[in-house]
Amino acid sequence: MSLLDVRDLSVVFQRRGERPFTAVDQVSFTVEPGQTVGLVGESGCGKSVTSLAVMGLLPKRGNRVTGEVLFEGTDLLKLRPDDLRDRRGRDIGMIFQDPLSSLNPVIPIGVQVAEVLERHRGMDRRKALREARELLDAVGIPDPDRRLTEFPHQISGGMRQRALIAIALACKPRLLIADEPTTALDVTIQAQILTLLKQLVDETGTALIMITHDLGVVAGLCDTVNVLYGGKVVERAARHELFARPRHPYTHGLLNSVPRLDSVRGERLHAIRGSVADNIPWVEGCAFAPRCDNVVDACLDGPPPLEPTASGGDLRCNNPVSEEVAVP
Amino acid sequence: MTDPTTRPGVGKPRTGDTPTDQPAGNPTEDRPAGQAGETPAQRRERSLGRLGDRKRARLDELARATADPGGVSLYRDALRRLRRNPVAIVGAVIVGLFVLVAIFAPLIAPHDPVQRFDELTRDLTVDSIPGATAGHPFGSDPLGRDFLSRMIHGSRQTLFVGVLATLIGLTLGVLLGAIAGAFGGWVDVVLMRLTDVMLALPSLLLAITLVAMASRSSQWTVIFAVAIVSVPIFARLLRGSMLAQRESDHVLAARALGVKERNIVLRHMLPNSLTAVIVQATLTFAVAILDAAALSFLGLGDPDINRAEWGLMLGVDGQRYFEVRPELAYYPALAIIVVALGFTLLGEAMREAIDPKNRR
Amino acid sequence: MLRVIVRRLLQLVVTLIALSALIFVWLRNLPGGPVEALLGERATPERRALLIKALGYDQPILVQYGKFMQRVLTGDLGNSIRTGDPVTDVIARAFPATIELAIAAMIIAVGLGVPLGYLAARYRGRLLDNLTIAGTLLGISIPIFFLGYLLKDVLTQDIHWFPPSGRISTGMDNTSVTGFYVLDGLLTREFDASADALWHLILPAVTLATIPLAVIVRITRASVLDVLNEDYVRTAEAKGLRHRTIRGRHILRNALLPVVTTIGLQTGALLSGAVLTEKVYNWGGLGTLITDSISGGRDYPVLQAIILLAALVFVLVNLLVDLSYAFIDPRVRVR
C-alpha cells in the first residue's frame, strides 16, 4: 500500500456570480513510504492547491474538492474535520513558502514549536519547550536556547524556515509536504535548506512531497517527478528519465530554460513563450497548445489522455518531443 | 503611465512586451503570417498557422473571452464594481431621492412650511398638538404649521447645511493637506501639529466650543462649526495619500521621465488622492447632518423658528414635545437616519470599490 | 523604550500648550468674550474699561497668557462666572460622573463589540454577518440623543425597567469617596448604593456605547478577516491545533491589535457623546456642565478648563494605548 495515494483529485473554485475555475483537474499520483516526489510547474498550475487539498486546508467555502486522498488507506477527504485535525501536524507535516508570514509575529518561536508537541504528544509546556530546544538544534539553528524566547522578526529568513521545518517535523510525521520551501530565500540559504531537508528526510525516513517551479530543486532531491500544467499532470517520470529524456514539450521547454553547465558556450537559453494566462480550457484541447512548438491539429480536438510510456512513466501528449531533440 | 488614473502596477497587460521577454504567442495579436523580414518572434508566432484558420479563429475567440481587460482605468473599474454592489445601489437611490425631494420641495409640499393654519392652531395647547387631520397627514407642529410640508422643505435645508459644511471642510482640509504634502519640511510639521491639536479635541466638543465662541448662534455658525471639525480629517487624508504616492512607482517613473514636479503633483498625485477625498466627503456629509442636529439639541443651533431643517426640528421641537407628541421627533429622526445611512452606504461602497485590495 | 515615552510625553506637552494658547487667544478676541459675559451687552464703556483693567485684559496677550499658564500650573483655573466657585472645584465635582459613564460605555462597547465582530468575520456573508453590519450602520447613523430619548421612553416610561434620569435615587444616602458612585458603594460597603448607581448607569452607558460599539464591531470584523487570510493561521491549521487554540492564540491575539488603537481613538467619541447623553439622562457630569456653561451666559473659565481637560484625557489615553502596544506587539519593542 502506498503511503499516499491521490486519485482523480479535482478542485473547482466557484465564487458567486463567476464562472467556476478548475484549479486541479483529476490529478492522480502516489507517494511511497520514504520516497521523495516532486510536483513541478509554473505558478497557477495547481500544485499548491493540490497540497492544500491533501491537507484539507482549502477555505471551507467557495470550492469543491472531489476524488480521493488515501493516506495509508484512509480517505482524508472523507474524515470528520476533528479527525483530520488529529492527523495534521502528527502524520502529515507541511512547510510553506514564506517563512516570515507563516510564523505568528506575536508569539515566541519556542511556543510555536512547542504547541504542536503539546497538541499531538500530550506534553506540558515545560517538557514541550525542552523538546522544542532539541528540535531547533536538530534543524541547525544556532543558540537554540535563546531562540526559544525570540520572535520571528528577530531571526533571519533562513532560520525562520528552519524553525518551520522543526515545527513540521516535530511529531515525526510519515509525510512532509514542502510548498516552495526555498522560493522566498536567498540563493545561498536555499541550498542549505535543501541540504537540511534531504538530510532530515534520509535520517527519519519521512516521505516528502516537494512542490516547486525550480527544476534545480527537483534534480537534487526527488525520486519521481510529476509535471503539472493547467491543473493536470502532463508528464510523470523517474528523475533521471525526466532529465535525460523529457517527452512533453512543456517539460522540454522547462529544462531548456534552465542554464546548464554542459551546454555549449554562447548558446541562448530558450524561454517558453506566453504565460499560464494563455491556456485554453482542457475541454477544448490541450491547455498547453497555444504555447506549444509541437502543436498538431489533434491538440485542439479535446484533451489528450495520460498514457503510460515505455520507460515506466506517464505522458499526456499527442506529439511528444523525440529523444534526438531533447539533447541538443 | 500618461494616464494618471491607470492603476499603477496592478493588472499588468498580459502581453509580456518587455525587451527581455520574448513576445508572447498571444493569439489576440492578429498579425498576418509569413511576411518578409519577420523577427524570430513572429516566426514562432506563425507556428500557430499550422493549425489552420478555423482553429486559429477558435483560439482567438477563447483568448478574447478569457482576456483580462488589462488597462481599464481606475474610475471605470471602480464604477463597474459599484454598479454591481447592492449596497452602493441602495445608498445611491436614497441619496438620489433625497436630492430630488430637496430640489422639488415646493412642488411636492402640499402647503407653505411657515404658514400657520387656523384649523391646526385652534386645538393647539402646550399639552396637545394635533396629529393627522384631513389635509395635514403628519398633523401640526407646535406652532400650527403643516408638519408634512415642513418635513419636505426640511430636506432642502438639511441638504444645504450638509453640503455646505462638507464643502467648507473639504476645501480647507484639502488646501492644508496639499500644502503640507507638497512642501514637506517645517510647513508640514507645523500644519500637522495643528491638525493634531484639532484632532485632540473630541469633535462635538470642538463644534460646541466654536459655536459658543460666536456672539450669537445662527445657521452659519452651525455650518462653520460642523465644517471645521472635518478639516483635520481631510487634511490628514490628503497629506497621507500624497506622501504615500511620493514613494510610489508611478510617481518615481514620472519623475524619472523628467516630468516637472508641479505637474507630478497636479496631474499625477492630486487626482489619485482626490478619489479618497470624495469618498471621505460622502461619509462626512452624514456626520455633518448628525452633528448639526446635535448642536440644535444642545440649544446651540439655528435660532430661526421659521426655518425647517430636520436637525433643528428633531433637536428643538422633537425634544421639547417628546412626551406630548413623539412624532415630532420620530419623523425628522427617521429622515436623518435614512439620509445619513444612504450617504454612509454610498461612501463605504465607494471606498470598497476604490480600494485596490478588492480588485480582481 | 524610555526614549519613546519621553518623546511622546514631550509631544503631549507641546500639543497641550498649543491648544491652550489657541483657546486662550480665541476666547479673548471673539465677540461676546468674557467681559460681555460678565457685564451684559448694555454696560457703560467706563465699567467695561474698569473690568478689562481688573481682569488684566489691557496687557499684551503674551503677558496675559504667561500669567494664565502660571496660574494653571499652580492649579488655579479661575472662578466660574456663573456660580463664582473655583473652576477646579466645579470640574472636580463633575469629572468622576463623566468618567464613570464613559468607562461603563467602553466596557459595553468592547465586551459586546469584539465577540460580535469576531463572529461576523467568522461567518462572513451569512445572516449573522449581514445583521451585524446593518446594525453597525444604523448605530452610526442614528442621532444618539434621539436613541437616548427612545430608550428612555420605552424602558423607563412604558415599562419601568430603569430609572429615567440621574446618577442615584433620591433619598439614597451614599458616601462619596472617589465620586465614582458604583465604586464608592463598594469601598464603603454600601452595596445597595452601588447597585442603585449601577442601575442608573446602565441606560446612559448603553446609549453612549452605541457609536464606539459600532466602530469596534467593524474594526474587529475587518481585522479578523485580514488575519484569517494570514499565512500563520494556515500554519496553525497545518499543525492540527485545536480550534480553540487557533482562535485565541493565533487569530484574536493578532486581530485585536488594531482594536486597541481604536479604543483609544474612541475616547473622543465618548467625550462628545457624553455631552448629549448627559443631557438626555440629566447626568451631572462634564457634559451637563458644558451645556449649562453655554446656555446660562457663556461661562468661559469653565468652558476653557473643560476643553483642556478633554484634550488632556484624549491625548493621555492614546499615549497609554500606544505604550500598551509595546507590551502586546513584540515588533514594536525594537523600535
Q: How far apart are CA B38 and CA B17, in angstroms?
A: 17
In this predicted structure, which of A275-284, B8-17, B187-196 has the lowest mean pLDDT?
B8-17
Across B173-196, average pLDDT? 84
pLDDT in tens, B50-60: 444 545 555 45
User: Which of B 31-50 lie inside 8 A of A, CB atoms?
Assistant: 41, 44, 47-48, 50
**Nine cell digits for residue A110:** 519556542
Could you tell me how many CB contacts below 8 A there are between chain A and chain C? 82
- Asked if A285 contacts A299 with a C-beta cutoff of 8 angstroms, the reply is yes
The rounded distance, in Å, linking the Cα atoms of A209 and A4 is 10
Q: Chain B residues with CB inside 8 Å of C18's CB?
A: 193-194, 197
| pLDDT at residue B101, as a whole number | 93
Residue of A22, A275, A278 best to disrupt the B interface, most CBs of B under 10 A: A278
A271 touches chain B (CB under 8 A): yes
Sorted by sequence, the CB contacts under 8 Å of residue A83 that are 6+ apart come out as: none
pLDDT band at A63 (very low <50, low <70, confident <90, very high): confident
In this prediction, residue B308 has a pLDDT band, given cuts at 50, 70 and 90, of: confident
Q: Is the pLDDT of residue B26 over 60?
A: no
Kindly compute the dihedral angle of the four CA atoms of residues B140, B142, B144, B149, in this order, to the nearest 10 degrees.
Answer: -50
C28, C13, C56: which is closest to C303 by C-alpha?
A: C28
Select from 3.20.20.20, 1.10.3720.10, 1.10.1370.40, 3.40.50.150 the CATH code of B82-358: 1.10.3720.10
Measured torsion, CA atoms of residues A225, A228, A233, A236, in degrees rounded to the nearest 10:
-20
Percent of chain A with pLDDT over 70: 95
pLDDT number for residue C6: 83
Mean pLDDT value of segment A102-122: 93
Residues of A in contact with C253 (CB under 8 A): 104, 106-107
Grid cell in block for residue A241: 528519465
Q: In degrees rounded to 5, what are phi and psi of residue A92?
A: -125, 125
Mean confidence (pLDDT) of chain A: 87
Domain residue ranges of chain B, discontinuous segments joined by +:
82-358
Dihedral sign, Cα of residue B22, residue B27, residue B28, residue B31:
positive
Contacting residues of B for A278, CB less than 8 Å apart: 14, 24-27, 63
Superfamily of domain C104-167+206-329: MetI-like (1.10.3720.10)
Is beta strand A63-71 parallel, antiparallel or unpaired with respect to A74-75?
Answer: antiparallel
Q: Residue B344 phi/psi, 5° resolution?
A: -65, -45
Nearest CA in chain B to C135: B341
> Any chain C CB within 8 A of the CB of A96?
yes
Closest to C235 (Cβ–Cβ): which among A90, A96, A119? A96
pLDDT at A296: 84
Chain C CB contacts of A89 under 8 Å are 238-241
Q: Which amino acid is at A203?
A: E
Q: Which residue has the cell 497545518?
A: C238
Cβ-defined contact of C334 to A87 (cutoff 8 Å):
no
What's the CA gap between A168 and A163, in Å, rounded?
A: 9
- Stated pTM of the model: 0.82
What grid cell was written down for B128?
Answer: 396637545
Mean pLDDT, rounded, of chain B: 75
Average pLDDT estimate for B38-46: 42
Find residue A5's DSSP bridge partners: A30, A70
Q: Would the pLDDT of B32 be above 50?
A: no
Grid coordinates standing for A295?
A: 502543436
pLDDT at A301: 82
The reported pLDDT for the residue numbered B3 is 37
Complex prediction ipTM: 0.87
Q: Indicate where chain C has its CATH 1.10.3720.10 domain(s).
A: 104-167+206-329
| CA–CA distance, A8 with A306 (Å, rounded to integer) | 12
A 10 A CB-CB count for A57 gives: 17
Residue of A88, A101, A107 with shortest CB distance to C239:
A88
Q: For residue A191, give the DSSP letter.
A: H
User: What was the pLDDT predicted at C313?
Assistant: 87
Query: Of the given ranges (A279-293, A304-318, B124-138, C220-234), which has the lowest mean pLDDT?
Result: B124-138
Neighbours of chain B (3+ CB pairs under 8 A): A, C
Sequence ranges of the domains in chain A: 4-228, 230-325
Q: Residues A105-122: what's their mean pLDDT? A: 93
**Do the chains contact at C27 and B201, CB–CB below 8 Å?**
no
Are the Cβ atoms of A273 and B68 closer than 8 angstroms? no
- For A4-228, CATH gives 3.40.50.300
Q: Between B254 and B155, where is the model more confident?
A: B155
* pLDDT for the residue numbered B162: 92
Of A121-125, A225-229, C33-37, C122-126, give the lowest mean pLDDT range: C33-37
- Is residue A319 within 8 Å of residue A296, measured between CB atoms? yes
Q: Whole-angstrom Cα distance, residue A176 to residue A197? A: 10
Selecting from C238, C253, C328 the residue whose C-beta is nearest the C-beta of A57 gives C238
Identify the burial level of B216 via C-beta atoms within 10 angstroms of its C-beta, where 0-12 means exposed, 13-18 middle and 19 or more buried: exposed
**Contact criterion met (CB < 8 Å) for A280 and B59:** yes
Percent residues over pLDDT 70 in chain B: 77
For B209-225, what is each residue's pLDDT tens digit?
Answer: 888 777 677 888 889 98
Q: How confident is the model at residue C38, as a pLDDT? A: 64
Q: Around Cβ A132, how many Cβ atoms within 10 Å?
A: 30
Per-residue model confidence (pLDDT) at position C40: 64
C-beta contacts of B297-301 below 8 A and 24+ residues apart: B297/C143, B297/C145, B297/C276, B297/C279, B298/B208, B298/C275, B298/C276, B298/C279, B298/C291, B298/C294, B299/C291, B299/C294, B299/C295, B300/B208, B300/B211, B300/B212, B300/B217, B300/B222, B300/C294, B301/B217, B301/B222
Which pLDDT does position C223 carry in this prediction? 92
> What's CA C103's distance to the chain center, in Å?
8
Q: What angle is formed at CA B139 by the lines to CA B137 and CA B140, rounded to 5 degrees?
A: 145
Q: Which spans in chain B are helix H?
A: 40-46, 53-66, 74-83, 86-103, 105-108, 118-121, 147-183, 185-200, 203-213, 219-246, 249-256, 261-263, 270-297, 310-312, 319-320, 327-354
For the cut 60, the answer to whether the pLDDT of residue B264 exceeds it is yes
Q: Do A300 and B55 touch (CB under 8 A)?
A: yes
Question: What end-to-end distance do the CA atoms of chain B give, in Å?
Answer: 20
Q: B35 to chain A nearest CA, in Å?
A: 20
B5 touches chain A (CB under 8 A): no
For chain A, the helix, strand and coil percentages under 3-state DSSP, each to the nearest 5:
40, 20, 40
Residue B52: other Cβ atoms inside 10 A: 12
Residues from chain B contacting residue C298 (CB–CB below 8 Å) = 212
Structure confidence by residue, pLDDT tens digits, B320-330: 888 888 888 89
| Range name among B38-47, B284-293, C132-141 with the lowest pLDDT average | B38-47
To the nearest whole percent, how much of chain A has pLDDT over 90? 47
Which among C239, C244, C325 is the top mutation candidate for probing chain A, defined by the most A β-carbons within 10 Å of its own β-carbon?
C239
- How confident is the model over A239-256, as a mean pLDDT? 87
One DSSP character per residue, B285-316 reads: HHHHHHHHHHHHHTT-S---TT---HHHIIII
Mean pLDDT by 10 residues, chain C (335 residues): 77 81 72 62 74 74 82 81 85 91 94 94 90 92 91 83 78 74 79 84 93 93 91 93 92 89 85 91 88 77 85 85 79 59
User: Is the pLDDT at A217 greater than 50, yes or no?
Assistant: yes
At residue B215, the pLDDT reads 64
pLDDT at B20 over 80: no
Q: Chain C residues with CB inside 8 Å of A86's CB?
A: 240
The overall average pLDDT reported for chain C is 84
Test C231 with A153 for CB contact under 8 angstroms.
Answer: no
Tell whether the model's pLDDT for residue B25 goes beyond 50.
no
